[in-house]
Structure 1
Amino acid sequence: MGAVLGLCSATQLACCCGSAACSLCCSACPSCANSTSTRLMYAVMLLLVMITGCITLAPGLQTELQKVPFCANSTNVPLVPGNFKVDCEQAVGYLAVYRICFATCLFFLLMALIMIGVRSSKDPRAGIQNGFWGIKYLIVIGGIIGAFFIPEGQFAHTWMIFGMIGGFGFIVIQLILIIDFAHSWAESWVSKYDETESRGWYAALLMAMLTCFALALAGIVLLYVFYTKADGCDLSKFFISINLILVVVASGVSILPVVQEYQPRSGLLQSSVVSLYVIFLTWSALANGPAECNGITGSDNTKKNHFDKQTMIGLIIWGLNLLYSSIRTASASSKITMSEHILAKEGSGGYDSIEGADGGEAGRGTETKVFDNEGEGVAYSWSFFHVMFALATLYIMMTLTNWFNPSDELSKENVASMWVKITSSWVCVGLYIWSMIAPAVFPDRDFN
């Protein structure tokens, strides 16, 4: 299990003992800010963990492991003398994903504790944050290997509870990033329309908004078709109906005159993106609902379908949000959407060269690959960043396992996860409405 991460991290060993951010991920770019390089490296680490988890769920892997000589119940002639046998079934399946993500989550939480109170890259702990990549990869690999020695017992059930709580937290952070993206998208296109007065930008805005609303409406219809019945499934009907009402209310609030007065570029484009995400959360929640109300799996609700459509869409949204949080600087709406601790601030001071400096031209020369932009102050909250990645690890754990209840039959029916997801969808709508009305409710505060 650790070999997969070991091979992938071999290229990072050049950064093993340096305190600078690894410039490997930015070597093809003219220059790369320290804050961006570091966030990208942690994103790569989490991506490799996800790939490792996917490998453990690969169909037929357990059958192939039976050919390994030192595995229990091996079909081949043992090559290891004595009675040395390993239960290779522990290295695959849902429990393997739980163990991998357990070690990774603890690593990010440890980093979050270490980075509490860091104000600039001049802090001695900055070297731990921005460097020693080889050592950090080895720590993660060692933690993953050690996690496989944890007795099964109540580990899966207990860790699933933490996974649902953490998954809920990341869903909220994901919504904040989506709101920030929607605001930035609208601000960019509206600005270009105002500058050029080109009808092309206006048409693009209109088409994007109508497409998102059309997909959301189609999703509502499909949810009624596949997750409700004429003579039952009242709870599913309630969830779909209440979320439909909420997205309509949120869309209406976005075009109120008082909202437009304080946020002239707030509008239906942002509402359409949020509505689409809320409908996805509703679908994800109902997929974990009672089997009799699931018209897609029905009585086959215990089938181990590792990578269904819901999982794939969840992974895509997760990956896009991870990339967005790693390379994006905070937009003008970051204070409204509460993303100023997640996204890096623009224009941070203290530019010092780290890699590729050219004598006295350090930080300005064309050879500079990575430069320190956090000498006077951190561009983002380092501690909160690691907390976010710990929650992202728990979210990916629950997504890869389809939020299954880790019982013997691994049933996809999990009422607890259904309520977690549906509650998160309500929180998401509430946060979006707050992002629109906050400037009007507190006109004396600076939200820009």
Structure 2
Amino acid sequence: MGACMALCSLASCASCLCGSAPCLLCGCCPSSNNSTITRLVFSFFLLLGTMVSVIMILPGMETQLRKIPGFCEGGSTIPGLENHVNCDVIVGYKSVYRMCFAMTCFFFLFAALMIRVRSSKDPRAALQNGFWFFKFLILIGITVGAFFIPDGTFHTVWFYFGVVGSFIFILIQLILLIDFAHSWNKGWVENAENSDNKCWFAGLMSFTFLHFALAITAVVLFYVYYTQPDDCTEHKVFISLNLIFCIIISVVSILPKIQEAQPHSGLLQASLISLYTMYVTWSAMTNNPNRNCNPSLLSLVSNVSSTEPSADPGQVQWWDAQGIVGLIIFLFCTLYASIRSSSNTQVNKLMQTEEGKGFGGEGVVGEDGILRAMDDEEENVSYSYSFFHFHLCLASLYIMMTLTNWLQPDTTTQTMQSRMPAVWVKMSSSWLGLGLYLWTLIAPLIFPDRDFN
């Protein structure tokens, strides 16, 4: 209910379209920084496109559309509509590819337009923070045009764009989780020290133990269900390597020299990163085309064999456990990126942001007595406009791959097939992500003359 109210509030804010910024000229938004409101509205555009994609890929949509007289090709005719709509394109994985293609182009366009915007005094900042009605029209126009793209090799080519973009986005997800863990640990430690309430320390220890317990449980389940005594060598290597890497980062995070250089570093961050790494490992293994090494979650629960191929190999079922967990993490990271305020210098440099006040701005009271969002970027932008749009661009590609379960289109059979490249992309991204977290720990020791406070 709270999420629905938040989306409704964003939609109401977006309806204030008569000025240069959504909440500077109308009182429909709560008190906050103008930069935060802008990021939330752009994120709402992305979530809106995601919801449309989910509806398009729901099972039975094509059957229902074909029941509409004269709507689909080959159906009953209505004057002016006969044979004009190809229902194979407006539903299923093809529709998801086209919808996400439109969102990717939309955000890439703004990423290019907003390069090197330094403050809200730049004329392009008005385009970033306002004109929402025209932005919405642009997104609709690109979406409509995307559905007229001929099939050909479009889906195959765009699949590889999705793989590369999703690889980078998974790394960004990990960076955001690192940032969230640092902020979480720092906030609770400061609360414990300022209030002398040991419950904060107990809470940190409890969540740390929970994360490690879940990660260890996941490793055991992986060995039991996703490996075979004489098969699944890749899975054995993946699980073992990531287990060793997680142990390494956990040990490094509590070394005395690391603690001296990074006072807020600890096991909470390492435990959260370890749990996320295990999720990525599981997500990678679920894309293995070898069904002996990749049992479905339903078969594990019901003890029904899933080695037989599906009756409809082209049917995409994103609503399995992997897809649902992926969407939840995506929603968290997208909304967190919109309201985040980090005090971690290294993470800010990686995300191209500055330390800010986050969602809780003071607001400005206008002449009519209405509290409006405060322009906090007159001197310097609080985040890179271009990088933020590039992040949403990558998020669009990640949504495309998640909803289609990372299956690769086959132009000869017109079906979706599992392929090993998706497995290697996810695993390599987990390794690179662990390397980035390790870098945030050891960088102050390698470069002692630089400020990493």
TM-score > 0.5, shorter chain as reference: yes
Q: In structure 2, the residue corresponding to 1:293 is in which secondary structure?
A: coil
Q: Which of 290, 298, 309 is equivalent to 2:307?
A: 298
Distance 1:241 1:443, change over 3 A: same
What's the counterpart of residue 363 of structure 1?
none
What's the counterpart of residue 35 of structure 2?
35
2:388 maps to 1:385: yes
2:323 maps to 1:311: yes
C-alpha deviation, 1:332, in angstroms: 2.1
Distance 1:15 1:336, change over 3 A: closer
**Is the Cα contact below 8 Å between 2:169 and 2:395 reproduced in 1?**
yes
C-alpha deviation, 1:400, in angstroms: 0.7
What's the counterpart of residue 95 of structure 1?
94
Q: Which runs of 5+ in 2 are unaligned?
A: 1-7, 297-305
C-alpha deviation, 1:370, in angstroms: 1.4
Distance 1:149 1:109, change over 3 A: same
Q: Which of 387, 393, 402 is equivalent to 1:399?
A: 402
What's the counterpart of residue 302 of structure 2?
none
The more displaced of 9-18 and 114-123 is 9-18
Q: Which of 356, 364, 372 is equivalent to 1:346?
A: 356
**Is the Cα contact below 8 Å between 2:65 and 2:72 reproduced in 1?**
no
C-alpha deviation, 1:340, in angstroms: 4.6
**Is the Cα contact below 8 Å between 1:288 and 1:412 reproduced in 2?**
no
Q: In structure 2, the residue corresponding to 1:406 is in which secondary structure?
A: strand
C-alpha deviation, 1:264, in angstroms: 2.0
Distance 1:309 1:397, change over 3 A: same
**Is the Cα contact below 8 Å between 1:112 and 1:385 reproduced in 2?**
yes
C-alpha deviation, 1:19, in angstroms: 1.1
**Is the Cα contact below 8 Å between 1:34 and 1:373 reproduced in 2?**
yes
**Is the Cα contact below 8 Å between 1:35 and 1:344 reproduced in 2?**
no
Cα separation, 2, equivalents of 1:10 and 1:353: 20
What's the counterpart of residue 21 of structure 1?
22
Deviations 1:322-361 (A, max 9, x none): 11110111x22142564451x553169xx9988x6127xx
**Superposition TM-score, scaled by structure 2 size:** 0.89
C-alpha deviation, 1:299, in angstroms: 3.5
Distance 1:353 1:317, change over 3 A: closer
2:59 maps to 1:54: no
The number of residue pairs the alignment matches comes to: 429
**Is the Cα contact below 8 Å between 1:68 and 1:74 reproduced in 2?**
no
Distance 1:26 1:293, change over 3 A: farther
Cα separation, 1, equivalents of 2:446 and 2:250: 18
Cα separation, 1, equivalents of 2:394 and 2:144: 21
**Is the Cα contact below 8 Å between 1:213 and 1:276 reproduced in 2?**
yes
Cα separation, 2, equivalents of 1:190 and 1:369: 34
2:340 maps to 1:335: no
What's the counterpart of residue 3 of structure 1?
none
**Is the Cα contact below 8 Å between 2:111 and 2:390 reproduced in 1?**
yes
Distance 1:288 1:74, change over 3 A: same
**Is the Cα contact below 8 Å between 2:17 and 2:130 reproduced in 1?**
yes
What's the counterpart of residue 241 of structure 2?
242
C-alpha deviation, 1:73, in angstroms: 5.2
Deviations 1:186-237 (A, max 9, x none): 1011111212222211111111000001111111111112211011111111
C-alpha deviation, 1:116, in angstroms: 0.8
What's the counterpart of residue 450 of structure 2?
445
Q: Which of 325, 336, 347 is equivalent to 1:324?
A: 336
**Is the Cα contact below 8 Å between 2:21 and 2:126 reproduced in 1?**
yes
What does residue range 132-151 of structure 1 map to in structure 2 within 5 Å?
132-151=131-150
Distance 1:263 1:205, change over 3 A: same
**Is the Cα contact below 8 Å between 1:177 and 1:339 reproduced in 2?**
no
C-alpha deviation, 1:78, in angstroms: 2.6
Distance 1:411 1:299, change over 3 A: farther
**Is the Cα contact below 8 Å between 1:352 and 1:373 reproduced in 2?**
no
Cα separation, 2, equivalents of 1:85 and 1:8: 37
Q: In structure 1, the residue corresponding to 2:206 is in which secondary structure?
A: helix
What's the counterpart of residue 357 of structure 1?
366
Q: In structure 1, the residue corresponding to 2:292 is in which secondary structure?
A: helix
RMSD: 2.5
Residue identity in the other structure for 1:55 = I
**Is the Cα contact below 8 Å between 1:22 and 1:133 reproduced in 2?**
no
Residue identity in the other structure for 1:112 = A
Deviations 1:67-122 (A, max 9, x none): 122233566x4322584432122100011100001111011111011111111101
Q: In structure 1, the residue corresponding to 2:67 is in which secondary structure?
A: coil
Cα separation, 2, equivalents of 1:121 and 1:154: 42
Deviations 1:388-431 (A, max 9, x none): 11001111111111101112364452211111000000011101
The more displaced of 16-25 and 231-240 is 16-25
Cα separation, 2, equivalents of 1:190 and 1:37: 29
What's the counterpart of residue 178 of structure 2?
179
The more displaced of 165-174 and 367-376 is 367-376
Q: Which runs of 5+ in 1 are unaligned?
A: 1-6, 360-365
**Superposition TM-score, scaled by structure 1 size:** 0.90
